[in-house]
Structure 1
Amino acid sequence: MKKVVITGSNGLLGQTLVNLLLEEKERYQTIGFSRGENRSGRSDFNYVSIDVTDEVLLYKKLSEYKPDVIVNTAAMTNVDECEINKEACDKLNIDVVQYLKNYSEENNAHLIHISTDFIFDGKNGPYKETDKPNPLSYYGLSKLKSEETLIQSKIDYTILRTILVYGKVYDMSRSNIVLWVKKMLGDRKEITIVDDQFRMPTYVEDLALACKLSIDKKALGVFNVSSKKMLSIYEIAQQIAEVFMLDKSLIKPISTEELNQRAKRPATTGFDLEKVKKYLGLAPKSFQEDLQKFKEKLT
């Protein structure tokens, strides 16, 4: 049996991974670390209410549980907020990874960390795992620094890079592109969506499965995880409307320049997915196929 600590277990990926591992209680002892009350709606796993940016407390709690694997899903992911509040961004996105790396080094734990397509500048997508990063935003820079912390270490690490994660869990503190578009169109509200940024969105169930496969196979190194087809964010919104049978005419295109967001976004990211198929055995699907699965889960 493997002991797995999931940091950020109240988040979208955190809750999804907790649920996935609890399907096989004989194989995993699941421990959730997160801030505040346990929001998963489940009481059949160990939950620790903790501020993971407290290095001393984090080390103490990890030492109590002695995990074989740590999956770090805790992060500050609001791109514009990271631009404004760099100190908070550094604490959660860089310092915490350093603390987890230090613990893993001393205790021989396997550390799985979630990263992002925003480490790239968007000029040459889709990207391979080996392509040179060049972040445009402070968020992207913070995630790149956290990657470097692991890559330069001597620990067993796995970095899973992902794009625009969406899905739904029991109690959510924030929305995501699919739920937001679905809600706005469901309320008959007009929305403006950028049509000159291109992505491959990721269904949270697939990302959780990639985490589990990384644990099972002890797959080390960097892996890309996303759906398999490049779409503009405008096309993503249109597909959401189609699958949920909502009014597409409410979606209005806008350029990145017109939108004028605080943090710069890469134009075209997307991933080459050959490595994750070969080594993790993941079979990426199109956004539309994943959306259909998500819709069935919601009904």
Structure 2
Amino acid sequence: MKKIMITGASGLLGRALMSTFTPNFTVLGTAFSRTSPPLHKLDLTDFTALEAFITEHQPDYLIHAAAERKPEVCQAQPEFTQQLNVSLPQKLAQLCHQYRIELFFISTDYVFDGLNPPYAENADTHPLNDYGLSKQQAEQAVLSYPAHNVIRVPVLYGQVEFIEESALTITWAQLQQNKQPAMDNWAIRYPTHVSDIAATLHDMLTKLTPSERGGVFHISDTTAHTKYALACALADAFGDDKTRIIAQDSAVGQAARPKNCQLQDTRLTQKGILYQRDATQGLIDAVRPFVAHS
């Protein structure tokens, strides 16, 4: 079987990737802060150790899912963000080219400013915050090698290990912690389940030829939501009072965010690769284990 290395394998997306690829690939999952068998503990920012791991295991493919994704953290810790979100992908791009490994770099819809959606794969990027800027810079390094792939995704959700693990499931915790929780009703998001991302990447490797890969791909659901609307749906599902939720109709957060950076996944839909689901029901299912009376 072909061998695939997955970084950030203990994270929300990483776990879905591990589950999806394990039946048909030899999978090497790496993590650092949350590591248990079968994952390998690896400090990705130790480039000597990183290269030693790659040369020892010689994967055919590498999905780089490890990153700092919180815009406020990226804004507050620029040196850390530069190291993890920019220098590391740059090194991985070089190493994968050197050792003939096809790289799949997980990027973000936040590379766009949200002013002219939907965004095709070849649209010009213009990030509004440090997180988006770090991903834009990493994309440029990855794309300097034509055989590598940039995979842009929107806000993700799925079966979380703790309620704060997703920017969407944390909404339930916020409902419980505040009498009148304020929820963003300004930014338009396209929540996508991590299992659908994983299934899409699996199809890319098993159904597309190498000549059909390379460059930028968008993977995104197509149904628009706001966090306020999703919070109201959670309240309805679990018998909470949604009338106490306050709709915030202007931009929120210390870091600037785009209003609507919808991704148009033209390349994959043309190949018949498309996985979608009802994000409202999917989020309810993800939150259910954390609801005391469910």
Give the TM-score normalised by the residue count of structure 1. 0.87
The code of the aligned residue for 1:256 comes to S
Match of 2:243?
249
- Asked if 1:76 is matched to 2:86, the reply is no
Contact 1:277 1:283 in 2 (8 A): no
* 2:124 matches 1:132: yes
- Distance across 1 between alignment mates of 2:268 and 2:95: 27
The CA deviation at 1:227 is 1.7
Flag the structure with higher strand content.
Answer: 1
Deviation at 1:94, TM superposition (A): 0.9
Distance 1:181 1:29 in 2: 36
Q: Deviations over 1:76-118 (max 9, x none)?
A: 1010110111111111111111111111111111101111111
Instruction: Tell me the residue number matched to 1:31.
Output: 28
1:102 aligns with 2:94: yes
- Residue in 2 that maps onto 1:17: 17
**Partner residue in 2 for 1:120:** 112
CA contact (8 A) 2:157 2:283 kept: no
Q: CA deviation at 1:220?
A: 2.6
Distance across 2 between alignment mates of 1:150 and 1:222:
10
Q: Residues 141-220 of structure 1 correspond to what in structure 2 (within 5 A)? A: 141-154=133-146, 156-169=147-160, 171-172=161-162, 174-186=164-176, 189-216=179-206, 217=208, 218=210, 219-220=213-214
Secondary structure, aligned partner of 2:120: coil
**Aligned CA distance change for structure 1 residues 281 and 122 (closer, same or farther; 3 Å):** same
What's the CA shift for 1:187?
A: 5.9
* Preserved CA contact (<8 Å) 2:112 2:126: yes
Q: 1:95 to 1:230 in 2, by over 3 A?
A: same
Where 2:271 maps in the other structure, the secondary structure is helix
Compared CA separation, residues 78 and 157, structure 1 to 2 (3 A): same
Residues 8 and 64 of structure 2 are in contact (CA less than 8 Å); yes or no, is this contact kept in structure 1?
Answer: yes
Q: Which letter does structure 2 place at the counterpart of 1:32?
A: G
Q: Identify the residue that residue 225 of structure 1 maps to in structure 2.
A: 219
CA contact (8 A) 1:20 1:208 kept: yes
Q: Which amino acid aligns with 2:169?
A: L
Match of 1:275 in 2: 267
Q: Assess, with a 3 A threshold, how the Cα gap between structure 1 residues 173 and 198 changes in structure 2: closer, same or farther.
A: closer
Query: Would the aligned equivalents of 2:8 and 2:14 in 1 still touch at CA under 8 Å?
Result: yes
Task: Let me know the Cα RMSD of the aligned residues.
Answer: 2.3
Aligned residue identity for 2:18: V
CA distance in 1, matches of 2:272, 2:133: 27
What percent of counterpart residues are identical? 26
Q: Aligned partners of 1:294, 1:271: CA distance in 2, in Å?
A: 23
Q: Is the contact made by 2:172 and 2:287 (CA closer than 8 Å) also made in structure 1?
A: no
- Where does the alignment leave 5 or more consecutive residues of structure 2 unmatched? none
Question: Which residue, 218, 229, 239 being the options, matches 2:233?
Answer: 239
Paired residue type of 2:151: L
Per-residue deviation at 1:75? 0.3
**Closer, same or farther: CA 103–295 of 1 in aligned 2, 3 Å:** same
**For residue 67 of structure 2, what is the amino acid of its counterpart?**
A
Partners of 1:224 and 1:159 lie apart in 2 by 8
SS in 1 for 2:151: strand
Q: How far is the alpha carbon of 1:211 from its aligned partner?
A: 2.3
The runs of 5 or more residues in structure 1 that have no matched partner are none
Aligned residues: 287
Taking the aligned partners of 2:163 and 2:282, their CA distance within structure 1 comes to: 23
